[in-house]
Amino acid sequence: MLRTQSNLFRSAIEMSNMWKIKFHGKERPIAVSSSWNEQYEDLFLEEGPIDYIYDLDVPEAWKERRVRFYFGAINTKSKVYINGDLVCTNEIGYLPFECITKTLKYGSTNEIRIEVENKLSKDGLPAGRMPGFEEEGNFPPANFDFFPYGGIIRMPYVEVLSKASITDINFRSDRSVPSKKLGIVEIAIEVTEESVGKDLEISIGDLSQRKKISGKQVEFHLEIKDAKFWDVDNPYLYDLRARILSDREVFDEYKVKVGIRTVSLDDKHILLNDKPIKLLGFGKHEEFPIEGQGTFKPLIVKDYDLLRWIGANSFRTSHYPYSEEWLDMADQLGFLVIDEAPHVGLEKYHMDNPQTVKLCNENIKKLINRDKNHPSVIMWSVANEPDSAYSKSDEFFKTLYDTAKSSDPTRPVTMVSCVPFCKKSGGPDVAMRHFDVISVNRYYGWYNHQGKIDEAEKLLSDDLDALYKEYKRPIVLTEFGADAISGFHANPPQMFSEEYQSEYIERLFKIANEKDFVSGIHVWAFADFKTAQNIHRPLYNYKGVFTRDRNPKMAAHTLRKLWKGR
C-alpha cells in the first residue's frame, strides 16, 4: 500500500478543510489532522465513539478512474461510511489504511463519515489497564506512560488515478558492496489487474529497464557502478521512478526517493555500509500542545534542528510509528531511526490472547510495509517494555521476530526490554535471546537507588557487562534519564532539579560510552510530554532535556558538549 502522491498522472487531494464532529447529538467544527482531546475542554478525557463528517465533491470524470481513500492514521478503531454505506473498518492506530469503494455518487456531493473510538481496553493496542488493577494506576486508564490521544491524527486523502496503476514498490540494496562502490538494487513493483499486458518501466540514476507486465508483480535487478551510498554524513538519495505505459501512452507514474546502503552486525557493532556506527540520540514522542499527536510540520522541522544542534544522529519512534514526514526528513538529513511498532505495555494477558497475537503480527507487517523504503530506518523494534520475563513470552516474541524477519530480512530486529526491573514477575528476560540487537531501558539512580548516582554508575556498568557476556551481541541503551522541572535548581544536586538531571545523564552516558559493545545510547527523553494523570506525573513526564515547548534545560547543553565538544 503506497502513500498517496500527486504528479502528472495521479492526483492526491488533502481532506484538510475543517471537518465536523457529531457527539451526543451536537455538531461542531474540528481540525484535522490532530487529536480531539485538547481542541475542546469537554473532549479532554473522551474515548468516543465520535463521528467525523466531511462533504466531498466528486466530479463525473472520476467515474472512469480508480478512487482510493487513504487515511494516514486514526486512533484507534474506526469505521468509514460513504453516503451511509460502511466501506471499511480499521483497528490499528498510528498506521495507514485505505478504502476503495464503488459507492460514490459521481457529479455530486458525497458524505464521508468516520466513526472513531479510542477506548482503552485490555484487548487494544496500545493497551488499557489490565484486569485486577481497576482502582490503580493512570487516569485515563492507560497501561503506558503517555497520553492516550484520539482522533484522525494524520491527514486523510482521496487519490484519483488510472485503473492501470502501481500499488506497491519494494526497494532493496542490502546486497550492495560499499567497498567497491557497487550498488546492487532489487526492485519489486506490484500493480493492479488492469495493468497486465502493458509495460512497466523503471529508472534510477542513469539506469532504466522496461518489462512486459504478465502478472500483478514485476521484479527488476540493477547494478549501479560508482554508486553514491547513503550515510549520516552524505545522505544521498536517488530518484526512483516507475511508469506503466503502452506504446507512447503513460497510464501511471510513481516516484520515491531511495538510498543505497547496507545495515549489518558483528558481535559488538551495528555496521552502516560495513563501518561501525554509534547511535547517539533519544527516545521521544510525536506530540505537542493542542495538536496532541497530530502531524504538525513546523514541529518536525524544529525538532530536527534541535537534534542537529545537540549533536544527535538518531532516535527511536517510541512507542509507535511516527508520521512518514518524520522519516522523509530523516532520509534527507541523514538521521538513523529505530522504527517501533505500537506495542507498549504488553502483559501476560496479551501473550495468551490469540486476538492480540494476531493484531501484533498485523501491526508489524503494516509497519514494515509502510516504511521499508526509507534508508533512515535501520532497525525494527517489535515492542517496548513488555513482560518478557513471563515464560510464554519466549514463544510470543519468537513469533513477532519471525514475522518481522520474513517481512524484511534486510534489517536487524530488536525488542526493548526493561526486565527484570520494571515487572512484578521479576527476571530473567526469556525473550531477549531471539533478537539481533539487545536493547534495554535502565533507570538506576531514578526509579531505584534514587538520588545515588555513584551507585547507579556501578550498577549500570555491571549490568551492561553481564548482558554482553550473556548474549555477545551489540547493545543499545534505549532509555536512561531523570525528571527535571525546568527552573528547579538545587545545590547539591537533588532529584527533579536541572542539576541532578544534567549530572546523572553525563555520568551514566560516560559509563555506557566506554563499552565497545554498546552501539547506541539514547537518552529518555528528547522533550517533556503529556501523560495520563497519576501521582508520579504532575501533568507531564519531565525527563525531556527540552521542555514541551522546546526550550533547553541544563542537560541539553551538557549533551551538546558531550556529543559535539561545544
Sign of the CA dihedral running 510, 511, 514, 520: negative
479 catalytic residue (yes or no): yes
For 323-357, give the DSSP string.
PHHHHHHHHHHT-EEEEE-S-BS--HHHHH-HHHH
Closest among 345, 318, 286 to 127, alpha carbons compared: 345
User: Pairing state of beta strands 50-58 and 108-117?
Assistant: antiparallel
Nearest to residue 442, comparing CAs of 343, 511, 530, 531? 511
User: Is there a contact between 479 and 279 (Cβ–Cβ < 8 Å)?
Assistant: no
Task: List CB contacts of 17: < 8 A, sequence separation 6 or more.
Answer: 54
Q: Which three cell numbers stand for residue 94?
A: 498510528
DSSP characters over 184-195:
EEEEEEEE-GGG
136 annotated active-site: no
Amino acid, res. 196 = V
Q: Which of 47, 291, 385, 498 is catalytic?
A: 385
C-alpha cell at 524: 529518555
Residue 488, SS3? coil
Which of the following is catalytic: 46, 117, 159, 479? 479
Strand segments (E) across 215-290: 217-224, 238-246, 249-258, 263-265, 270-272, 275-277, 279-283
Beta bridge partners of 380: 339, 413
Catalytic residue annotation:
385, 479
